[in-house]
Chains A and B, each alone.
Chain A
Amino acid sequence: MADEETNVIIGLEVHCQLDTKSKLFCGCSANFRADAPNTHVCPVCLGLPGALPVLNKNAIEFALRVAKALNCTFTKEGEFCRKNYFYPDLVKAYQITMGDSPLATGGYIEIEDDAGNPKIVSLTRIHVEEDPGRLVHMGSKERGHYTLVDYNRSGIPLIEMVTEPELSSPKEARRLLSKLRATLEYLDVFDPEKDGSIRVDANISFRGHERVEIKNISSYKGVEKALTFEITRQKNLIRRGGTIARETRHFQERKGTTSSARSKETATDYRYFPEPDLPVIRVADWVETIALPELPDARRDRFMQQYSIAVGHARTITGDLRLAEFYEGIVDVGATVAASWVADILIGELNYRGMALETVTTRAQEFKNLISLVRSKTITDKAGVEVLRVWLDNLYAGDRTETPAQIVARLGLSREDGSSFRVIVEQTLASNHQAIADHKAGKKGALNFIVGQVLKETKGKSEPREIHAMVAELIGE
């Protein structure tokens, strides 16, 4: 690793939409994504003159759960304040947020560093604020002649979590986000599947150089990409003897690059002051009454103990609440084999197809049956993967009728006894004299070549180990 890279300092500001039923300061439904623009609005979230905010208790409860789970210290009196700035998506020309007195400070998140060792990342603060509306630019930037505003999002509750600048690599940043996401999911306060439900600002600098802020990155992958790009850019600049400007940059998701935000003549002055329309909130007694569910780390440890599965499997499976629930639902088919099928095979096949986990979690019994087929040696591991692929392809295409067992039957994938392949093995040996000669001459891999030919012929219905033994036997070893 180059010297510079060990000196990278990264801090994150993570904004997640809290998955409440209604908005932060009014009764409008927060479930707006499927609906027409400006249909989830009222005088309050439109900022109409005279309208006043009323705090959604649920949103605070959600944020308190997060703060408690992340070991934060609670502020005696949390105070909302106004962040004043002009922008067409901001109905009141101020955002109600929290300043000097957030809900909670301190706290930490445990992740693994790039070497796989545990690492504690400190949190600076946690607070709650309102999301602004959304601008929709019509036409291209150069030729676009108007912009539409949709206020459905205006007033959606956001939780902002700020880390200390203690991350040392883009991968660490991504792991922190994954951990944070899992924790919020376990706490039942966040739905990562909702479009735009997470936004991240990342600060990055090389020790001894100015800090650059990358604003508004809207995916986990994006954060890693943007930071990786920035490291290269800053490193090159420093090598060429340039200076890093302290600035805000935007991330272009599609290109994977960052570009300087047009620097303003003067720094923005948000003129923060306490929000006079809302009382301070005292949470000390409230926090006491909040019970936390089992969190990702605890569940990981329990899985390792209760089901005797490997740490890697346990970590992967518990890193996503729905995956963990799914796993526990099918664990009686065999804990180890189920863990392997979920963590090593299923996730990859789903990702490859861009399919949501829900397609499988809603059909857990069928997936379980598939594992049973493998476990009972009705089909081989290889055939099992083949069945899974066909099954997923079917689901992807909208065909939900065929069960894994039916797929096995249709494709004739049932495992057959080694003896039924004897003819194929003999034929393969007969047409591969050279390979046998190579093997006898001590060339490694020659035998595997023959076994591979047979496996190909038998279409995965045979166990590699049995074929291997049969080949060895037939060539007299």
Chain B
Amino acid sequence: MPDIYNAFLSRIEISSSVSGPLSGIRVAVKDNISTKNIPTTCASKILLGYIPPYDAHAVELLKAAGATIAGKTNMDEFGMGTTTENSAFCPALNPRDVTRVAGGSSGGSAAAVAGGLVPMALGSDTGGSIRCPASYCGIVGLKPSYGRVSRYGLIAYANSFEQIGPMAANVADTAKLFSVIAGHDSRDSTSVSKPYDLTGLYAGIKGKIVGVPKEYFGEGVDKHVAAAVTAAIDRLEDLGAAIREVSLPSLQYALAAYYVTCTCEASSNLDRFDGVRYGPEPEMNLPWHDAYTSVRKMGFGPEVRRRILLGTFSLSAGHYGKYYVKAQHAKQLIRRDFFRVLTDCDLLAGPTMPNVAPKLGELIADPLQMYQTDILTVPVNIAGIPAISVPCGTAHGMPVGLQLMGRMFGEDDLLNAALAYEEAI
């Protein structure tokens, strides 16, 4: 099938001879996940020509489960964006309306699934990068609990927030892919031993307490989106869940805490791209410092440069205490808020995105407005808890995502609830 959505940056068919739960299933892999002998660019010019000599842990698991690697998917450069328009190569298009963005940063993975090119895909989620494109394209996407899926081989954007996660057309496939990639990996020191077992998937939602944070229906949330999500929460009640309004007051700090922390980490992570060991060759007749500068100037796109500058600034002497340290305090507050409401509630529910997929070019000129659309997805990355986006009707003719958030390592609750909802509509 031709890739009319710019979903892929490279297409290959590497089938595994192993028989396993994913035998015969084609899985697309986001291009920031290392694949042995297959170019891995993070949709950045600075990694053109880089071919990893090793597989990410999640890719090893895919192969061991019998999956066919169908290709590497388009994304915002290094995961920095909400629309996949920050890809250095081309924006991914939304299969539901090709004049609209697929969302980001795992836009290629979402478009590949929504466009019917593959049944499932791996994405990565630092501040919503799985859930946003899942919501915009009308598919399912799960951001696992921090540590549940190994990050080994995931090219880091913001280490303390991100996770590799499954994306698929339906909840069952999402759960199946998750069962393959979850579990401990000794090569990731933040990895925990929490494998996921599919067998409880049909447990339903009856008797579960679902908290609805009022902050998730605040200013900036499109009223048609809010209406679709409210209707979905009503369905959860019909299915036997108890609905309760809750509040997470510290969410007012979430965007700031998120952007300070992720840009700080990114500025450090991306310093290694200097042209010495891989990527475009620097000009050889320059002093090394100038050669570095020229490679990085050529290789990084404007959004990446913006975030490197922001992060470098925040970590600098005299600013560190005002920004990085403050952001870590805010992180603790947000975490505490979530843990507090999640002692009474089994799940939380709200919209994934405050809007539907914007038109191509609509948000790209205004980075601040684009950052604002992450308001409902970044909090769970800060708290480390899992969240899933599942399609719940439409607004303005485009898909809307219902976001369910759970306790640490409570993915089974999320998947069970999402499946019960999906089957009910």
Contact = CB atoms under 8 A, between A and B. Distances in A.
A48 B53 contact: yes
A273 B315 CA distance: 7
Contacts of A52: 151-152, 187-189
Interface string A45-63: 0111111111100000000
A278 interface: yes
Contacts of A49: 34, 40, 42, 47, 50, 52, 155-156, 272
Main secondary structure of the interface of A (DSSP, over half): loop
B277 interface: yes
B272 A47 contact: yes
A154 B271 CA distance: 17
Interface string A79-108: 000101010100111100000000000000
B196 to A, nearest CB: 21
A442 interface: no
A84 B189 contact: no
Contacts of A474: none
A146 B257 CA distance: 44
Contact of B152 (A51, A92, A149): A51
A84 B271 contact: yes
B292 interface: yes
A54 B189 contact: yes
Interface in B20-54: 32-34, 40, 42, 47, 50, 52-54
B202 interface: no
B154 A50 contact: yes
A27 to B, nearest CB: 10
Interface in A385-412: none
A54 B186 contact: yes
Nearest to A149: B276
A121 B54 CA distance: 48
A279 B190 CA distance: 7
A46 B274 CA distance: 13
B160 to A, nearest CB: 4
Contacts of B317: 269
B294 interface: no
Given A52-B187, A93-B272, A86 B152 contact: no
Interface string B245-282: 00000000000000000001101100110101110000
B130 interface: no
Interface in A134-177: 149
Q: How large is the interface on A (under 10, 10 to 19, 20 to 34, 35 or more residues)?
A: 20 to 34
Contacts of A92: 271-272
A73 B152 CA distance: 35
A276 interface: yes
Contacts of B267: 84, 271
Interface string B188-208: 111000000000000000000
Interface residues of B, number: 43
A43 interface: yes
A277 interface: yes
Contact of A277 (B42, B52, B189): B189
A276 B186 CA distance: 16
Contacts of A51: 54, 152-153
Contacts of B155: 49-50
A93 B267 CA distance: 10
Given A54-B189, A93-B272, A149-B276, A86 B54 contact: no
Contacts of A48: 34, 52-54, 277-278
Given A271-B268, A279-B190, A50 B276 contact: no
B320 interface: yes
Interface string B360-389: 000000000000000000000000000000
A50 B188 contact: no
B332 interface: no
A86 B316 contact: no
B56 interface: yes
B324 interface: yes
Interface string B136-177: 000000000000000111111001100000000000000000
Interface in A24-51: 43, 46-51
Given A48-B52, A50-B154, A52-B152, A278 B189 contact: yes
Contacts of B32: 50
A292 B264 CA distance: 41
Nearest to B162: A276
A92 B155 CA distance: 12
Contacts of A55: 189
A91 B53 CA distance: 16
A398 B208 CA distance: 83
Contacts of A84: 267-268, 271, 315
B394 interface: no
A52 B189 CA distance: 8
Contact of B53 (A43, A93, A272): A43
B15 interface: no
B275 to A, nearest CB: 10
Contact of A86 (B47, B50, B277, B292): B292
B105 to A, nearest CB: 16
Nearest to A86: B292
Contacts of B54: 43, 48, 51
A50 B272 contact: no
Contacts of A149: 276
A278 B191 CA distance: 10
Nearest to A87: B288
Contacts of B324: 273
Interface in A245-282: 269, 271-273, 276-279
Given A52-B152, A54-B187, A271-B320, 11 more contacts: A48-B34, A48-B53, A49-B156, A50-B151, A51-B152, A54-B189, A86-B292, A272-B315, A273-B265, A273-B320, A277-B188
12 contacts: A47-B272, A50-B154, A50-B155, A52-B189, A54-B189, A84-B268, A86-B271, A88-B288, A91-B272, A273-B265, A277-B159, A279-B190
Interface of A: 43, 46-55, 82, 84, 86, 88, 91-94, 149, 269, 271-273, 276-279
Enumerate the 10 nearest inter-chain pairs by beta-carbon distance, A residue then B residue, closest first. A93-B271, A271-B315, A276-B159, A276-B160, A49-B155, A50-B153, A50-B34, A50-B155, A93-B272, A92-B272
